[in-house]
């Protein structure tokens, strides 16, 4: 998960209460959430939902409240729906959602699961961890087997790119310029706008050596 700085002024169309998914709303959410699903961190989702963080269940106020609208892929929204109404709020300045939930990347493209671990016993942290774990690992239907496997493979590809730059940086045969470029790429991968950023940043948080090298780039 990643923290989001939501623009303070709501898109104008919300005042009309015609729809919570007008073009200006989607555009604002896309920009504020780095064009990533706030739950699984898939970038540029093909199937997008304007998601209600607190399920509106018929409430007009919740339905059109700007602070209650989040950017999510359809798959994650289908998992969450009204069943998870007690999640960590990634738009809260008081909540470091990255460090509250450990994401361990898959070590091969065929890893049967990924580790999603709560670092606090706070109920919202536990609930959010449970949801993210299900999204990446649940396989109780044929559809979920396919989609969760595909999702883990996408995460692995990002992690493999991270390892590629690590290997260049530590290789004694790499010239100084190659090491500098690799380090610049590694620092860029620490940005919360990167796809599956929590997995890449936790690879650093779990390693004292990498944390010393890249910790200042984790935003």
- pLDDT 10s digits, 124-178: 999 999 999 999 999 989 898 999 999 999 999 999 999 999 999 999 999 999 9
In a domain, 70, yes or no: yes
Question: Counting every residue, how long is the chain?
Answer: 219
- Is 27 a member of any domain? yes
Distance of alpha carbon 204 from alpha carbon 189, whole angstroms: 11
| Predicted local distance difference test score (pLDDT) of residue 57 | 87
Query: Tokens 């493209």, residue?
Result: 109
d(CA 20, CA 66): 9
Range of 164's domain? 12-217
Please say whether the beta carbons of 150 and 99 come within 8 A: no
Which position has the token pair 């999510």? 72
Domain assignment present for 52: yes
Regarding pTM above 0.75, the answer is: yes
Place of tokens 């602070």: 67
In a domain, 4, yes or no: no
CA distance 141 to 130: 18
Q: Look at residue 38 and tell me if it is in a domain.
A: yes
Residue ranges of the chain with pLDDT lower than 70?
Answer: none
| Alpha-carbon radius of gyration of the chain | 18
Tally of domains in the chain: 1
pLDDT at residue number 77: 93
Residue 3 lies in a domain: no
Residue 2 lies in a domain: no
At 148 the pLDDT is 94
In a domain, 104, yes or no: yes
Query: 188-206: buried (b, 16+ CB within 10 Å) or exposed (e) per residue?
Result: ebbebebbbbbbbbbbbbe
CB of 136 closer than 8 Å to CB of 114: yes
């Amino acid at each position: 998960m990643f923290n989001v700085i939501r623009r303070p002024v709501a898109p104008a169309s919300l005042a009309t209460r015609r729809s919570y998914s007008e073009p200006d709303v989607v555009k604002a959410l896309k920009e504020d959430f780095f064009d990533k699903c706030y739950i699984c961190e898939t970038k540029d989702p093909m199937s997008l939902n304007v998601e209600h963080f607190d399920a509106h269940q018929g409430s007009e106020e919740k339905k059109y409240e700007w602070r209650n609208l989040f950017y999510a892929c359809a798959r994650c929204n289908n998992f969450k729906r009204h069943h998870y109404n007690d999640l960590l709020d990634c738009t809260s300045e008081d909540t470091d959602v990255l460090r509250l939930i450990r994401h361990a990347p898959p070590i091969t493209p065929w890893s049967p699961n990924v580790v999603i671990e709560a670092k606090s016993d706070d109920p919202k942290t536990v609930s959010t961890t449970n949801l993210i774990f299900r999204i990446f690992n649940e396989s109780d239907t044929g559809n979920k087997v396919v989609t969760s496997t595909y999702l883990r493979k996408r995460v692995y590809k990002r992690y493999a790119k991270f390892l590629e730059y690590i290997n260049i940086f530590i290789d004694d045969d790499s010239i100084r310029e190659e090491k500098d470029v690799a380090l610049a790429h590694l620092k860029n991968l620490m940005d919360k706008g990167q796809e599956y950023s929590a997995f890449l940043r936790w690879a650093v948080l779990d390693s004292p050596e990498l944390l010393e090298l890249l910790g200042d780039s984790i935003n």
